Each structure stands twice: as C-alpha cells, then as structure tokens.
Amino acid sequence: MSEDTLPSQARYTFGGDEHLFVEISEAMSLPAFFKGMAICTELQRRQLPGVTEICPANAAYLVRFDPDLIAPDALLAALKDIEAGLGQGELQLQTRLIEIPVLYNDPWTHETLMRFRERHQDPTSTDIEYAARVNGHASVEAFIAAHSGSPWFVSMVGFVAGLPFLFQMVERAQQIQVPKYLSPRTDTPRLTLGHGGCFSCIYSVRGAGGYQMFGVTPAPIFDPAQRLPYFKDLMVFFKPGDIVKWKPIDRAEYDRLLLEVEAGSYEPRCVPVSFSLNDFLADPQTYNQQLLEALNEH
C-alpha cells in the first residue's frame, strides 16, 4: 500500500457477542486513520439502533453493539456499505488545532528516568539525549526543534483515561521514532510527554509506563471534577482528529501557567481548522506551515 492512498479493504472480526473489531491497515498512516474516522463519523450519523459505542483507534476501530437490537450480520453489512461508499475521494476533517506548552528536560522526569536507567537501552544518557542520537540530531536542542516544529494528529485516546496517542504529521522518513524502555518503569510523572515507536503521548495520570520521557506540560488533559473551563462538556480533553502543536517553554513560563491552572483560569490556545488529507499529502511541509498560521492569527 502506498503511504498516500487509502487502504483497499478492511478486515472485520467479531469479539464475543457485543463487539466488532475493524482493522483498516496493519500499519499506521494518515490515510488509514482518515478512513477509520470517516467510517466512524458516518456510522454515528446513521444512528443505527443497537450501536452503543464507537471507538476509533490508530488504524482500526471497535464497535460495541446490542445483539438483541441489531443482528451481527446486519451491523457488518452496514459497515461494509459505509466503507464501499468512501472510494478514494477527498477527505476533509473539521477539527481543532491546539497548542500545548511543554517544558522539555524538566527536573521531574529527569529524576524519574535516572531511577530507572537499568531498564533503558543506554544507561549512560538521558531519554531525550538517546532520542536525539538515534534520530540523527546533532544536539538535544535540534531534536526539540524537530519534535515541536511540526503538528501531530491525535489518532486515539485511551489506555488510561484521557491519554492521547499522537502521530507526527510529516513524511514517514522524517518521523521521530524511538523504542520503548527495555522493561517498563513503575513510575511516570503526571502530564509527562512520552514517546514510543512513532507515537507521542501525554500521561494523563501518574503511573507505570515504558515510553521515553521528554518533558512535562502544565496543561491538564483529564479533569474528573471538570473544574477548568475547557472541561465543561467532558472530563477528557482530547478527541481523535485533534491536531496538536507542542510549544517549548522555560521554567518561568511553566510556573506561571501552573498558577493559572491552580487558580482555575487556564485554557489552552485552541482554534477550529479544516484539514484536507489530499492537500496535506500533496505537500506536507507547506500545508503544515499554512495550518499553523491559524494559531498566529488567533
């Protein structure tokens, strides 16, 4: 499959009596993600009786259904009909462009990673130093510039409540890739910016983890109390299809933003955008520059 074309046909697998798993592609790509999102959006629009949950993922999606209200074969036929109707046409997504501040090389993840060096590929370096080296960057500063210089797609939300998986919006040869720890840590600070394979993430809560740790954000992404204004509709902030721009900040800015969070007044910069898959694939670098201008205009 070419990286700039939609996968030809999905693979459908029933899981027990109430779930249908649909694998769009064996490999993650923006076309695979867009195809899954388009199918999930159309399935939601149709409001089929008996469909109780629709869960999009990186290159797949899961549908939960009530077999007393919709026959499994009827649901399967509906999903195949939606897939057949997509073709190779224009795929447009109305979504959000969100700026997330990041304190790279922060003291909290540094303290944590130093406690777990025996589980790392290179115990003599830090996570971000290792990531810079294996991705061919001359310095940590150059790596941070590459990591924060392009937008990232939220391809799925889960694993723990509110945790987003993000896929870098660059040509595949330019994607940052770093292996996970040799064995997982038993501790990761809350709101750590992590990376494993080709995916970035933000740890929504403190806990175990195996992704490389690059920094922390002061911006909460999961708020069960819905105290902050941007959680008024849902306790989970990110949605599949969101586009994220990392913004490097220093310690003084981190502390300032943390005070806003504690005061209940913080809100991340967020603007509505229209994303065209075809236009992006035609010229990713130029399209990203035009896309990110929306933040400067806001």
* CA 112/CA 247 separation, integer angstroms: 23
CA–CA separation, 44 and 59 (whole Å) = 18
Task: Tell me the pLDDT of the chain averaged across its residues.
Answer: 93
pLDDT tens digits for range 69-98: 999 999 999 999 999 888 655 578 899 999
- pLDDT confidence band for 2 (50 / 70 / 90): very low
Q: What is the pLDDT of residues 198-249, one digit of tens each?
A: 999 999 999 999 999 999 999 999 999 999 999 999 999 999 999 999 999 9
Which residues partner with 11 through β-bridges? 23
pLDDT of residue 89: 52
User: Cα(200)–Cα(213) distance, rounded to whole angstroms?
Assistant: 10
Ranges of CATH 3.30.1360.40 domains, the chain: 11-88
* Contact (CB, 8 A) for 4 and 29: no
Per-residue pLDDT at 159: 85
Q: How far apart are CA 167 and CA 127, in angstroms?
A: 19
Residue 4 parent element (H or E): none
Task: Return the CATH architecture of domain 94-297.
Answer: Beta Barrel (2.40)
**What's the CATH code, domain 11-88?**
3.30.1360.40
- The beta-strand segments (E) located in 1-50 are 11-15, 19-23
Quick one: which of 103, 141, 115, 126 has its CA closest to 178?
A: 126
Within the chain, how many helices (H) and strands (E) appear?
8, 12
pLDDT of residue 87: 62
Alpha-carbon distance of 40 to 36, in angstroms, equals 6
- Please give the Cα distance from 13 to 5 (Å, whole number): 23
% of the chain beyond a pLDDT of 70:
96
Numbered ranges of CATH 2.40.100.10 in the chain:
94-297
The predicted pLDDT at position 76 comes to 97
Residue partners of 213: CB distance under 8 A and separation at least 6: 109, 112, 113, 127, 128, 188, 189, 192, 193, 194
- Give the per-residue pLDDT at 5: 58
pLDDT of residue 91: 75
The three-class DSSP label of residue 81 is: helix
Which band of pLDDT confidence, cut at 50, 70 and 90, is reported for residue 19?
Answer: very high
Contact criterion met (CB below 8 Å) for 191 and 218: yes
Burial tier of 251 (Cβ tally within 10 Å: 0-12, 13-18, 19+): exposed
Q: What is the dihedral of CA 167, 47, 224, 269, to 10 degrees?
A: 50
- Mapping DSSP to helix (H, G, I), strand (E, B) and coil, where does residue 175 land? coil
Averaged pLDDT, 6-18: 86
pLDDT at 7: 62
pLDDT at 4: 55
Pairing of strands 270-276, 243-248: unpaired
State which H helix or E strand residue 53 sits in: strand 51-56
The whole-number pLDDT of residue 237 equals 97
pLDDT of residue 287: 95
Which residues, other chains included, contact 285 with Cβ-Cβ below 8 Å and sequence gap of 6+? 170
